[in-house]
Amino acid sequence: MMKILVLHGPNLNLLGTREPGVYGRRTLADINKALTDLAEAQQTELRFLQSNHEGALIDAIHEARGWADGILINPGAFTHYSYALRDAITAVGLPAVEIHLSNVAAREAFRHKSVVTAVCVGQISGFGWRSYTLALQALIDHLVTV
Amino acid sequence: MMKILVLHGPNLNLLGTREPGVYGRRTLADINKALTDLAEAQQTELRFLQSNHEGALIDAIHEARGWADGILINPGAFTHYSYALRDAITAVGLPAVEIHLSNVAAREAFRHKSVVTAVCVGQISGFGWRSYTLALQALIDHLVTV
Amino acid sequence: MMKILVLHGPNLNLLGTREPGVYGRRTLADINKALTDLAEAQQTELRFLQSNHEGALIDAIHEARGWADGILINPGAFTHYSYALRDAITAVGLPAVEIHLSNVAAREAFRHKSVVTAVCVGQISGFGWRSYTLALQALIDHLVTV
Amino acid sequence: MMKILVLHGPNLNLLGTREPGVYGRRTLADINKALTDLAEAQQTELRFLQSNHEGALIDAIHEARGWADGILINPGAFTHYSYALRDAITAVGLPAVEIHLSNVAAREAFRHKSVVTAVCVGQISGFGWRSYTLALQALIDHLVTV
Amino acid sequence: MMKILVLHGPNLNLLGTREPGVYGRRTLADINKALTDLAEAQQTELRFLQSNHEGALIDAIHEARGWADGILINPGAFTHYSYALRDAITAVGLPAVEIHLSNVAAREAFRHKSVVTAVCVGQISGFGWRSYTLALQALIDHLVTV
Amino acid sequence: MMKILVLHGPNLNLLGTREPGVYGRRTLADINKALTDLAEAQQTELRFLQSNHEGALIDAIHEARGWADGILINPGAFTHYSYALRDAITAVGLPAVEIHLSNVAAREAFRHKSVVTAVCVGQISGFGWRSYTLALQALIDHLVTV
Amino acid sequence: MMKILVLHGPNLNLLGTREPGVYGRRTLADINKALTDLAEAQQTELRFLQSNHEGALIDAIHEARGWADGILINPGAFTHYSYALRDAITAVGLPAVEIHLSNVAAREAFRHKSVVTAVCVGQISGFGWRSYTLALQALIDHLVTV
Amino acid sequence: MMKILVLHGPNLNLLGTREPGVYGRRTLADINKALTDLAEAQQTELRFLQSNHEGALIDAIHEARGWADGILINPGAFTHYSYALRDAITAVGLPAVEIHLSNVAAREAFRHKSVVTAVCVGQISGFGWRSYTLALQALIDHLVTV
Amino acid sequence: MMKILVLHGPNLNLLGTREPGVYGRRTLADINKALTDLAEAQQTELRFLQSNHEGALIDAIHEARGWADGILINPGAFTHYSYALRDAITAVGLPAVEIHLSNVAAREAFRHKSVVTAVCVGQISGFGWRSYTLALQALIDHLVTV
Amino acid sequence: MMKILVLHGPNLNLLGTREPGVYGRRTLADINKALTDLAEAQQTELRFLQSNHEGALIDAIHEARGWADGILINPGAFTHYSYALRDAITAVGLPAVEIHLSNVAAREAFRHKSVVTAVCVGQISGFGWRSYTLALQALIDHLVTV
Amino acid sequence: MMKILVLHGPNLNLLGTREPGVYGRRTLADINKALTDLAEAQQTELRFLQSNHEGALIDAIHEARGWADGILINPGAFTHYSYALRDAITAVGLPAVEIHLSNVAAREAFRHKSVVTAVCVGQISGFGWRSYTLALQALIDHLVTV
Amino acid sequence: MMKILVLHGPNLNLLGTREPGVYGRRTLADINKALTDLAEAQQTELRFLQSNHEGALIDAIHEARGWADGILINPGAFTHYSYALRDAITAVGLPAVEIHLSNVAAREAFRHKSVVTAVCVGQISGFGWRSYTLALQALIDHLVTV
């Protein structure tokens, strides 16, 4: 059975209420539920963490070395400056997939730069909550193949 | 029945033989076959075009206004400078999804900039040939919802 | 009798339907008609070409050496990167006038840079379809004077 | 009857004597005469101001709110840095057309940037004194249509 | 017997008539003749293509995989932006030599950057038509050695 | 009765002892006391948080959605890079005022850029501890009016 | 009795009518009245000048050396380029406070840079006409303390 | 007896297992042991903290004001963006030495910039675990001298 | 008899009192006196203008065409942005010498750029009031020779 | 009989032993021998200098005015910053050809910029020791023709 | 017995008298003495060279191939531009350690960039003359281990 | 009696023959003669050095500490990159004046930046050989005053 850590970065706990025109109306619980449904259908176990603390996300990535096969991560605004998060992904050596709900390339200039993508397997952005389910499928397929 | 135009940009006709370490060993025919299988299972019709000519890709996008519901596009190296391709996508008003086989953010600096993403629905990159099937699924879901 | 080549760059074939808020509701045929009317009144012959192919525009500029006295060109998105188009204008040595329907300086940053203007006689932008008729008048007057 | 303010920026009082290779041999009086002739033929009244004082040009733009339908402006070197002039145009809300005698894009790098264009209807540059008559025609047509 | 593809990029068909002060008075036919003479003396077969179409040059590079041992290419203005051309050279894996008639480093700033050099064996620029014969000799020697 | 969250970012707990030449001699307790006095005189309730943890500040902003009418924030050094803090302010939709004790524009270059100001109502900087009382007055007036 | 010079830069004479969505509906007379009321309550005398002429503002700053204790200044668009204004403030050595009605950090990029702030005591921006009254209070308090 | 705080930044807890080609095979415990041995030989007491939380590192620096004579710090990835950490070092006024295991100048471009060095006594980088012992010696000598 | 216009830009009327550590203790009258003494000894007539108004300086340059042989100019802060002043010097075609009291290269970064130097004969900076007398000697010698 | 100065810049004395993967296994003596053979066959005399001293290379260029018809120069790392070398080439007015053994465009970013090319006839790079023989041929042909 | 070359770059011969506030009061002889003492205690032989000539430093590095095991180098101002020095270090393949007396990151911007660090083992800066002894220890330890 | 070192940088030995259109027809001997005449008239002794070797110029500056009161220096192309020369001037603490024959601001972009000016008393440029005599006068006056 495959095991995957799902990380939600800062401010994603407000999903559904935060700028719904940009991020959609689904809550984080809705997204986690959709991911769980998809995961169960593929014999995959998920563990979730949302945190507004960069350090807590790094801690969770470190712990994942002990149990997980891969990581789904929506780094939120940490995408644009958290080299510590980037180093954490490199350090544990687990395949990771970067997720964005919105099409970051169509928003403010500071959102066009990700310091994380280069150490991930790939990136999926712009499909709202479906960015998550696509990413889960992508990671499961990647883990099966590699 | 949904109809989707699948566009492959310059040099993608060499897939499978071109730098397999970067782009994988599947040929373009293999990818088109995988897409067709997925599309048929979802009552979706695909039409394919690969071209090394920017103008031919633009012409195809224009024609798609007459028959297609959406566009899958791997712009290849045009990603980085073809504002004409970008304008074509905007001009026809069809939802488009940008695809990259490799994780462009982990390669040469010039590949980090896409002039096309901002006018697409979203982007999927880094999953090899599966970037295409993920993108097809993403576009079908998007079209069903909107 | 003066002879002028009128070149329309990529995506301009969609005029009238493409983002009318930006580009206006007149079609390319309408514009060509307005130009023809104005040209006839001044004993000037026009030949038109619209193409989404950079190479086709360059070929036409080259051929113009054999018959034309000047060139009107709306390079569309090629404005921003086609140094080949720029070189073609320099190479044939015919006076050219650059045209833009919209006020490019008021749009996205990438539209603020033109690689073509420096090798033209002048530029007219922002007046919708009238940018064309003004440019035709400007070129005729220029040709008469020089 | 339409009324238009014609503004000539710094150093344009020297036209005809100042670098004739760049700016032509016509004096400002010649240009104003040509504009007046054209205006009269179209039931349009013009008022002229040339000043080397940024503040005087801004004052004139402000006063134009009381009587003018539009503005023709050759900002001279203010083109490149006078955000105050730009704000004045925005503040009065009158349609303005930016004029340059020379093809600024073919000259020194500092002349390639205009801080004014984005708040004008459009720009005409490179046609010598005819830039003015073309711009007058453009503005009259614009005012008739809007 | 060695076989080499000789590619001439946009506007090079005008050689001899186009800005002779910059590019010299020899026509493309003259250059091809000089190359053929040199090639024959060294048991080398050449095939030539000049095109103003980026796509046509890429197509020719692709086809060269079937028959050629190396490529001589003067990319003309595509030098400065055609990442698609660059990718084509990388994709076919044939040794290529970049040629410029003029000393591009002594001309406009935009000509100082080549997106192609890094994927070629080397570059020769500034010697007029002799840049071609030097490059042919360089490529033959390279092929013999490798 | 109005309620306002007052946030003090990293290192502000050392106020009064930390570089008094730059930040003044008042402690954070002194400032909070001055704010409380002013607030009470205007029927406003304040809650304070100082933290060196970016995540703790974000958590507090999120919780403020449940009780506060607005936010006073001196982001300290987070001003210059915490896009997560910026997103938190946008996400909760409460009016915020940015405060700086020192005149950041007169200090090191990295302090000239704030990633937070654009999502606040306004900014007050340079008046030492009075920046806080001015900001409180500004926010109360803003809340009364809107 | 304290004496303060209040300077309003270019285009501020149009307040109330100029882009009210950005600058509010109060006229400059309204603002001056509000300032006068506040000043009188604190035994402070104000003198006002609005000018669209950079030189007139500089002259007024120079003259203030003879009578004023401090300066309130909304430099309008001069904020972004008038190093002469900056030097004038430094030269007279009077404490100055920079004021902006709108939140300049949330507007066009050119408005993000102030050449004046570094030589002022502090800056207040984004609170509409209240930016002025806050600034007056800030300056009075600063003068009393120093 | 001298007392020194030794701070290890994010991801350094994984030392020995994390990219040993870059960071070496010694664990953090090994390094702390080596430091302790060296410190004891020089009558110096060390206290250690590793944290992935920027705020925890700042808190520790603040507390060090009460007991420590100096600080050894390997800021890990915070090196490149944590201005809050920089301000903490400045605020407590203790001499600090910056340490890097690897030669950061020989790695990715983003690692070439340190926001912390300028407020430290000096920097030692590239000597693996010995960077720490060298830094300890450097700090002790510095403290003895000053 | 030679005739020279001496122009003093903004804030130079305050010389002697304005930041004497930077600009020295001599007043503008002192400098003009020293210049007059030197000029009389060489049969040269000087006329002086100090203005804080860019337009007034331009007007004076224009008028100088009628009577002067050359121009001495200390543009003050206009040095860094007044392209209108630059154009005025070019337009009148009189030889000009740029003067700075202080060594601008050793001061703030914005003072390192002069938009005026390139159209002057030369520049003298850093020698306090003697920059003026040196410049006068330089201009007289230049006029005698040319 | 033609005479040519051959200059080898810094570190080229180590050729054959220095990074043979980059620079090849031939020694400088080997290259000089190959050049001499080629030169003799064409009635050309060569003189050689290798130096790690910028000044020695400049001195040699100066002396070449007395005897040489042209210069072959591999400036080594001076390529990237020695404007003094550049000025020397311009000053003596002899035609020079710039040589690089490796394809500098495919190496570190700092090697992409040459301060010398613009004052040479042309440049040859990437062909190992054959870059030299090609360059000699190019220079001889150039000298014969001019 | 280990042998190490110690290189002192330009202006270091003035140590002790040159800006003692920045570089300390020890002379170069003092530093060399301290190094010799430390070296002797570890059976290491040192040879010293100070030169203001870039070429002399490069020559010494080349010669070190014949006798030395490693290099200590304080490149002085060559740090910031001497790519020739950098290439010399790479060419001889000896481990080198870069030394700076002062904390270069805390000084002028041009001192923040080193073109040498990336080809050294590591860097030590900011500890005055002790930077040298620390570096010697670091190099000896490095040589013993490798 | 005052004593001054006069330094001429690289390529200045060719004066009179090198690009006379830019640098004039006087030789270095002519200039030194003119300087000597002027110096003698003012009881000043000059010593001259021209060198193409950066190190030789630095050595001479160092030696000047023993005998000279000041330095005149035309650094030639070293102006643009020799931080070692800059440090030498700072290190000896003698007042220096920077000289340029041509108006460097009117030439190539790389000549617009001087790394030396900020550590000199002042700069004189653009007056041909008279730049030297003006600079000598400026330095003598400076030395007399200080």
Chains C and B touch (3+ CB pairs under 8 A): yes
Chains that touch G (3 or more CB pairs under 8 A): D, F, I
- pLDDT mean over L82-101: 97
Q: Give the contacts of H43 (CB within 8 A, at least 6 positions apart).
A: H1, H2
CA distance C42 to C137: 9
Residue J145, pLDDT > 90, answer: no
Residue E2, pLDDT > 90, answer: yes
Residue B137, pLDDT > 80, answer: yes
Query: With the CA atoms of I136, I138, I142 and I143 taken in that order, what torsion angle do they form, in degrees rounded to the nearest 10?
Result: 10
Nearest CA in chain G to D81: G81
What's the ipTM?
A: 0.95
Chains that touch K (3 or more CB pairs under 8 A): H, J, L
Side chain identity, residue L24:
G
- pLDDT mean over J108-133: 97
Q: Which residues of H touch A84 (CB under 8 A)?
A: 9-11, 52, 54, 76-78
Q: Which residues of A touch B121 (CB under 8 A)?
A: 103, 126-127
CA distance K29 to K8: 11
Q: Do L62 and K14 touch (CB under 8 A)?
A: yes
CA distance I120 to E27: 45
For every residue of C7-21, DSSP letters joined together read EE-TTGGGTTTS-HH
CA distance J60 to J72: 12
Q: What is the mean pLDDT of chain A?
A: 96
Which of I124, J79, K77 shows the shortest CA–CA distance to L61?
A: K77
What 3-state DSSP class applies to A125?
strand
Q: Where does the pLDDT of residue B86 fall: very low under 50, low under 70, confident under 90, or very high at 90 and above?
A: very high
The larger pLDDT score, comparing residue J100 to residue I24, is at J100
Q: Do A105 and B124 touch (CB under 8 A)?
A: no
Q: Where are the beta strands (DSSP E) in I13-136?
A: 44-50, 70-74, 96-100, 122-125
Report the residue from H53, H55, H110 with minimal CB separation from A83: H110
Predicted confidence at residue B24, as pLDDT, reads 81
Q: What is the pLDDT of residues I48-91, one digit of tens each?
A: 999 999 999 999 999 999 999 999 999 999 999 999 999 999 99
Q: Where does the pLDDT of residue B19 fall: very low under 50, low under 70, confident under 90, or very high at 90 and above?
A: confident
The three-point CA angle L103-L104-L108 to 5° equals: 130
Residue/partner pairs of I18-27 with CB below 8 Å, 24 or more apart: I18/G90, I18/G91, I18/G92, I19/G90, I19/G91, I22/I101, I22/I102, I22/I107, I23/I101, I23/I102, I23/I128, I24/I101, I24/I128, I24/I129, I26/I128, I26/I129
End-to-end alpha carbon distance in chain J: 15
Give whole-number Cα distances, K76 to J8, J63, K47, K127, L57, in Å.
26, 31, 18, 15, 16
Residue J96, pLDDT > 90, answer: yes
Q: Do I105 and L123 touch (CB under 8 A)?
A: yes
From the DSSP assignment, how many helices (H) and strands (E) are in chain D? 5, 5
Cβ-in-10-Å burial (0-12, 13-18, 19+) of A36 comes to middle
Pick among L72, L86, L98, L103 to test the I interface (most I CBs inside 10 A): L103
Predicted confidence at residue E45, as pLDDT, reads 98
Catalytic residue among C23, C80, C112, C142: C23
Nearest CA in chain I to G60: I52
Predicted confidence at residue D76, as pLDDT, reads 98
Q: Do D11 and I87 touch (CB under 8 A)?
A: yes
Predicted confidence at residue G22, as pLDDT, reads 78
Q: What percent of chain L has pLDDT over 90?
A: 91
Q: Are strands F2-8 and F44-50 parallel, antiparallel or unpaired?
A: parallel
Predicted confidence at residue C145, as pLDDT, reads 86
CA distance J106 to J111: 9
Q: Give the contacts of D33 (CB within 8 A, at least 6 positions apart).
A: none
Query: With the CA atoms of A50, A51, A54 and A57 taken in that order, what torsion angle do they form, in degrees rounded to the nearest 10?
Result: -40
Phi, psi of K121 (to 5 degrees): -70, -45
Nearest CA in chain E to C59: E52
Predicted confidence at residue J113, as pLDDT, reads 97
Six token digits for residue D122: 């459009």
What 3-state DSSP class applies to E24?
coil
CA distance K69 to K67: 7
Q: Do C121 and D142 touch (CB under 8 A)?
A: no
Residues of G with a Cβ under 8 Å from any F Cβ are: 103, 105-106, 114, 117-127, 130-131, 134, 137-138, 141-142
Digitized pLDDT (tens) for each residue of chain A, 146 residues in all:
899 999 999 999 999 887 788 778 899 999 999 999 999 999 999 999 999 999 999 999 999 999 999 999 999 999 999 999 999 999 999 999 999 999 999 999 999 999 999 999 999 999 999 999 999 999 999 999 87
Q: What is the pLDDT of residues E128-144, one digit of tens each?
A: 999 999 999 999 999 99
Q: Which residues of I touch D11 (CB under 8 A)?
A: 58, 62, 84, 87-88, 91
Predicted confidence at residue E24, as pLDDT, reads 81
CA K30 to chain CA centroid, Å, is: 15
What 3-state DSSP class applies to E136?
helix
CA distance B91 to B95: 11
CA distance I126 to I110: 16
- pLDDT mean over H19-44: 92
Pick among I12, I14, I59 to test the G interface (most G CBs inside 10 A): I14
For every residue of chain L, DSSP letters joined together read -EEEEEEE-TTGGGTTTS-HHHH-S--HHHHHHHHHHHHHTTTEEEEEEE-S-HHHHHHHHHHHTTT-SEEEEE-GGGGGT-HHHHHHHHHHT--EEEEESS-GGGS-GGGG--SSGGGSSEEEESSTTHHHHHHHHHHHHHHHH-
Give whole-number Cα distances, E22 to E97, E104, E109, H46, in Å.
21, 10, 16, 71
Residue F18, pLDDT > 80, answer: no
Gap from A124 CA to chain H (nearest CA, Å): 24
Q: Which residues of A touch F62 (CB under 8 A)?
A: 11, 13-14, 52
Buried b (16+ CB within 10 A) or exposed e, G60-91: bbbebeeebbbbbbbbbbbbbbbbbbbbbbbb
Q: What is the mean pLDDT of chain G?
A: 96
Q: What is the pLDDT of residues H56-65, one digit of tens each?
A: 999 999 999 9
Chains C and I touch (3+ CB pairs under 8 A): no
Give whole-number Cα distances, L124 to H84, L96, L98, L104, in Å.
45, 11, 6, 10
CB K99 within 8 A of CB K120: no
Side chain identity, residue J107:
R
Residue E110, pLDDT > 90, answer: yes
Gap from A87 CA to chain H (nearest CA, Å): 7
Q: What is the pLDDT of residues I97-141, one digit of tens each?
A: 999 999 999 999 999 999 999 999 999 999 999 999 999 999 999
Going by the DSSP 8-state scheme, the letter that residue D108 receives in this structure is -
The larger pLDDT score, comparing residue I70 to residue B16, is at I70
CA distance H142 to G87: 43
Predicted confidence at residue L146, as pLDDT, reads 72
Helix (H) or strand (E) holding I30: helix I28-40
Which of J50, J87, J35, J92 shows the shortest CA–CA distance to J68?
A: J92
Active-site residues of G, by number, are 23, 100
The larger pLDDT score, comparing residue K25 to residue C95, is at C95
CA distance D7 to D56: 10
Q: Where does the pLDDT of residue H146 fall: very low under 50, low under 70, confident under 90, or very high at 90 and above?
A: confident
Q: What is the pLDDT of residues L99-139, one digit of tens each?
A: 999 999 999 999 999 999 999 999 999 999 999 999 999 99
Q: Is F30 left (phi over 0), alpha (psi -120 to 50) or beta?
A: alpha
Helix (H) or strand (E) holding G60: helix G54-64
- pLDDT mean over H45-55: 98
CA distance D117 to D99: 10
* Radius of gyration, CA atoms only, chain I: 14
Q: Which residues of L touch J56 (CB under 8 A)?
A: 53
Q: Where does the pLDDT of residue L10 fall: very low under 50, low under 70, confident under 90, or very high at 90 and above?
A: very high
Predicted confidence at residue L26, as pLDDT, reads 92
Q: Do J106 and E127 touch (CB under 8 A)?
A: no
Active-site residues of J, by number, are 23, 100
| The total number of residues written for chain I in this structure | 146
- pLDDT mean over H125-139: 97
Q: What is the mean pLDDT of chain I?
A: 96
The three-point CA angle L16-L18-L19 to 5° equals: 105
Q: How many other C-beta atoms can be found within 10 angstroms of the C-beta atom of residue G95? A: 17
Which of D45, D128, D102, D97 shows the shortest CA–CA distance to C127?
A: D97
Q: What is the pLDDT of residues J3-55, one digit of tens each?
A: 999 999 999 999 988 778 877 889 999 999 999 999 999 999 999 999 999 99
- pLDDT mean over G22-28: 87
Q: Do J77 and K87 touch (CB under 8 A)?
A: yes
F52 half-sphere exposure, CB direction, 13 A CA radius: 23
| The total number of residues written for chain G in this structure | 146
Which of C5, K10, A30, H142 shows the shortest CA–CA distance to L58?
A: K10
CA distance J18 to F81: 44
I23 tagged catalytic: yes
- Low-confidence stretches of chain D (pLDDT < 70) are none
Query: With the CA atoms of L91, L97, L103 and L104 taken in that order, what torsion angle do they form, in degrees rounded to the nearest 10?
Result: 0
From the DSSP assignment, how many helices (H) and strands (E) are in chain G? 5, 5
Gap from A10 CA to chain F (nearest CA, Å): 6
Gap from K126 CA to chain H (nearest CA, Å): 4
Chains I and G touch (3+ CB pairs under 8 A): yes
Residue H127, pLDDT > 80, answer: yes
CB C9 within 8 A of CB C73: yes
Phi, psi of B117 (to 5 degrees): -50, -45
Going by the DSSP 8-state scheme, the letter that residue G24 receives in this structure is -
Q: What is the pLDDT of residues I40-50, one digit of tens each?
A: 999 999 999 99
Nearest CA in chain E to J101: E122
CB B85 within 8 A of CB A68: no
Q: What percent of chain F has pLDDT over 90?
A: 91
